Amino acid sequence: MYGHPKQSQQRPTKPKGSKVKKKWISKCDNAGLIAHITLRVSSKEDWYFDSGCSRHMTGVDKYLEYVKPYVSSYVTFGDGAKGKIIGIGNVIKNGLPRLDNALLVKGLTANLISISQLCDQGMKVNFSKPEC
């Protein structure tokens, strides 16, 4: 082989008379299990801040005003599932800041507020232990 040091063709030998015990060792003694539970059943009225969400989105059309049809497209969720985007509008929900250009996604069961979209709209988002 050109450019590489010559390698010995012989394999290293084990000293005669030595016995190597093979022992099975678990790769991980501690299993990391994750469970997601809530203290109450979430409803379609709840809104969640999502740092991995690129756009605000909801599956409930009554939360949006000035809804325009959206070119047939899909959003991809963290688990790889896809949801069809059927419209885009502004969120009209008491207790929420103005959320422009929110996507209406068919079958979406959670309402998501995109942190990155809030920042793009000039808002400042702060997280602390008791609040966001």
| Edge-to-edge strands, sheet with 47-50 | 47-50, 111-114, 57-58, 99-105, 82-91, 64-76
Beta bridge partners of 82: 76
Residues 88-131 pLDDT 10s: 999 987 777 778 999 999 988 889 999 989 888 888 888 888 87
DSSP 131: -
The DSSP output letter for 110 is S
Q: What percent of the chain has pLDDT over 90?
A: 18
Which spans in 15-120 are helix H? 115-120
Query: Is the model more confident about 39 or about 42?
Result: 42
**Closest by Cα among 68, 128, 130, 63 to 98:** 63
Q: What is the pLDDT of residue 6?
A: 56
Average pLDDT, the chain: 76
d(Cα 44, Cα 95) in Å, to the nearest integer?
A: 15
Q: How confident is the model at residue 39 (pLDDT cuts 50, 70, 90)?
A: very low
